[in-house]
Amino acid sequence: MADGLLYTRDFAVSEHLTVHVPTLREVLGCYEEYYSAISAVISTPSDLMVQLEDMGIDFMKMDDFTLFCIVFYDLQERQRERPDVFHLIFGEFDLSKLTPVRLEDGSTVIQNAAGSIRIDSAAHEKLCTFLRAVLCVEKNVRNPANEEARRFMIKMERRKQRRAERERKDSALVLSPLESLIVSAVNTAEFPYTYETVLDLTIYQFNASIRQINNKIRFDNLMIGCYAGTVKAKELSNQEMSWMVPPQ
């Protein structure tokens, strides 16, 4: 999916649904809301295992599209509250015109009243694959071996979420998460952009650059280890022996 994405600004998921790839300049003032909205769209049952457990639902027994149908109502409300944020993702596409519907064959789709605009599981998967590529994140799928492992996994995830919430509330950072990334990137030798020119990169271009820089730094450290004798070069894979690895 990353192929051809470098200069993509708009991606057609279907005849009626197109996803926009904004620049940093476009999302600078609302990045947290933008990221949160996309995270909701691409969320998997593994991402929301704690919330599903509190609803009495086993995350292992739910598929991605069924979860999306549940989350869809929240996305509609978010779009009503922040149409500017959703315009950066879906353009003029109005989620309020659609609703989950069960078809005669037992399958569920999200469509408008006339049935002329439809999001099915295949379109949803295509949408999520593209958005994950834009953010350079991988799909989260957890498969505990048994019930005990499942309960332990949920327990650890609950602790992680509570800790993250405390850290968020206690945080006194002046910079937003995106601004912090920009500051880190601009002050890295491998990154050729300034605080102004970086804003014209798309979200994908920026994320892909960060990933590639991290890969280059990892490669340099490996080579230092090889020269120092602390890393055995013959045990490294061909991919590890090159820093020119396409972002995944």
Q: Where are the domains of the chain?
A: 10-170, 177-235
Q: How far apart are CA 69 and CA 118, in angstroms?
A: 12
Q: Is the pLDDT of residue 56 over 50?
A: yes
pLDDT at residue 214, as a whole number: 87
Q: Read off the pLDDT of each residue in 137-160 and give the average, rounded to a whole number.
A: 94
pLDDT at residue 2, as a whole number: 45
- Classify each residue of 205-216 as buried b or exposed e, where b means 16 or more C-beta atoms within 10 Å of its C-beta: bbbbbbebbebb
Q: How far apart are CA 51 and CA 162, in angstroms?
A: 12
Helix, strand, coil % in the chain, rounded to nearest 5: 55, 5, 35
- Higher-scoring residue by pLDDT: 1, 31: 31
- Which range, of 8-12, 130-134, 168-172, 194-198, averages the lowest pLDDT? 168-172
Residue 111 contacts residue 119 (beta carbons within 8 Å): yes
Q: What is the dihedral of CA 158, 160, 166, 167, to 10 degrees?
A: -160
- Which range, of 10-14, 153-157, 232-236, averages the lowest pLDDT? 232-236
Q: How far apart are CA 179 and CA 191, in angstroms?
A: 15
Mean pLDDT, all residues of the chain:
90
Strand 118-119 with 10-12, pairing: unpaired
pLDDT at residue 245, as a whole number: 61
